[in-house]
Structure 1
């Protein structure tokens, strides 16, 4: 494998022993690794290097990892694998909804971490390669609304910015990439990066929340329509800009 093909992992953890352990193991398995002890050093590493995936600990000295994950997701679509000693299910659900692609609870085996990283990277590559006819789109517009993909910004017809969670953003992106096409719940679960071990019904909750943000009357949606027994369909006319 040549140097330019080696994928670059950024490991963010305040424990020096853990950083060293993960770094050495991933390096042995053909990854390039950069480490950071806190959010500030993580930001510096992201400016200096081309990173393919971030392994992020939630317990950091300068800033909570959830806040960092949220900010990172607002700025980019870089894959994030959260590792944490937090055992509460609410923490896992929040991390996934705010932007993490996977969540691993400490203590974990390095072999499992490697498998999770490879799975996320593979899923990301497949998603990028299978993007449909709007592959070059950077901006979607429908009924006066505008979704800027690069900035992850949704603007209403009145010009107001509407804040979306990571799941809501990914769902809307999936709908706008395939207007007029029925998307199954399985397709939407994958698009929104929700995992089977969270809740299968989470997709319905995400749809409801998204409707409340973009529909004039969420109980009688005009854009995100339910196709009973099949899934959901985005019925508005969508325009794109590169």
Structure 2
């Protein structure tokens, strides 16, 4: 093989190797922070990126949203209740240069700062606030974390408290409190029902007093309802306007005084026979 051909092949192989070592493909959701001989060049990409072998160093940064789970933290609330709280943080890099230059590892730094902030925010709140008003605590957490991570070129978009574990004794106490509250509501509702029923009964009594004949119809309806149960003995009151004339006739026949010494009461009629169905 001629020497010129060998040299040409070697040169071609060197060019191919140089291009292969110099070119990098950066995806759309990535950026690379380039350093040349230790000096910052800036963020490059997406697309085809050229670098000088042995002179340039590229650090890849992912711009997608990262979901970070904060491990459970032992927290003492403001009202001295021990609780275990964990949370989830969603963040993404907005400035690749700051995420590399300002902090060694932005993911670990965000995780550690989120744990510290979680303990601080929950420690300032009471247990009822932690259980019932979690959205307010989430907003406070997100605001505190975002203020710090902004200096690192990281944006914390979502911070949510996931689970809150409290001691078993506290759970039983809360269950008893909830049961007592339900009983109180039941008694209040029952009292309101009794009050409304008494008002309705009063109105019904006033209506019946205006029409005495309707009271007689009510007596007949009551007898019909009692007869449906096949009772053998029925006791029902009779008003004095029905019994009065009969009593006066008996008194005149026996010669007794017409005026009674005591006020009369409604009579009672007793039927001691089976009612026909």
Normalising by the smaller structure, the TM-score range is under 0.3
Q: Which has the larger radius of gyration?
A: 2
Q: Answer 1 or 2: which has greater strand percent.
A: 2
**Structure ranking higher on relative contact order (CA contacts 8 Å, 6+ apart):** 1
TM-score (norm 1): 0.19
Q: Answer 1 or 2: which has greater helix percent.
A: 2
TM-score (norm 2): 0.17
